[in-house]
Amino acid sequence: MPKDAIKKMTLSAMLLAVGLVLPFLTGQIQQIGNMLLPMHIPVFLCGLICGWKYGGAVGFLTPLLRSLLFGMPVLFPNAVAMAIELAVYGLVSGLIYSLIRHGHVWPVLCAMLPAMILGRLVWGLAQWLLLGLGGTAFTPQMFLAGALLNAIPGIVLQLLLVPALMSTLHATGLVKF
């Protein structure tokens, strides 16, 4: 196995572990977790650092494993919809970043913003389908609240923290871009 693949698998496993434990910083208070979106940060980092394949896998696995191990988020429909959403974040951010990787902050933001938009749309579609299977309606108001209004603090945190972490990783030489 090539050395680069081993490095990417190791970093992906580490970021998966971070995604499992980072929500404990919110104290397991669902409202705070819904606002700060702590699982999203390691998924974005994985997509940007390791590439779209690893980012998509870590994004898909993180909420499902967290649900199975710790009971949060609830497996159906929340963790399933989040798994699809976070997989899109890792896939899209990793793919776009690999195409425009020149510098640190702007390419990261240019990769994250479309990933965030598409991920939230896919989350809404997944919630609509999953809740519909259970006989519950997923209204446009529920979509706006879950995808945007309640998530604004987390979106701002991601847009500030992820580019800063990427720049720091590059400046320290831990990860070369």
pLDDT tens-digit map of 107-128: 999 999 999 999 999 999 999 9
Q: How far apart are CA 123 and CA 63, in angstroms?
A: 13
Q: What's the pLDDT tens digit per position in 5-19?
A: 999 999 999 999 999
Band (pLDDT 50/70/90 cuts) for residue 174 is: confident
> Cβ distance 124 to 143 under 8 Å?
yes
Calculate mean pLDDT across residues 84-100.
Answer: 97
Check whether 85 has a pLDDT greater than 90.
yes
What whole-number percentage of the chain has pLDDT above 70?
Answer: 96
Angle at 112 between CA 157 and CA 158, to 5 degrees: 10
Check whether 103 has a pLDDT greater than 80.
no
**Domains present along the chain, CATH in parentheses:** 3-172 (1.10.1760.20)
Q: Is 142 exposed, middle or buried (0-12, 13-18, 19+ CB in 10 A)?
A: middle
pTM (predicted TM-score): 0.95
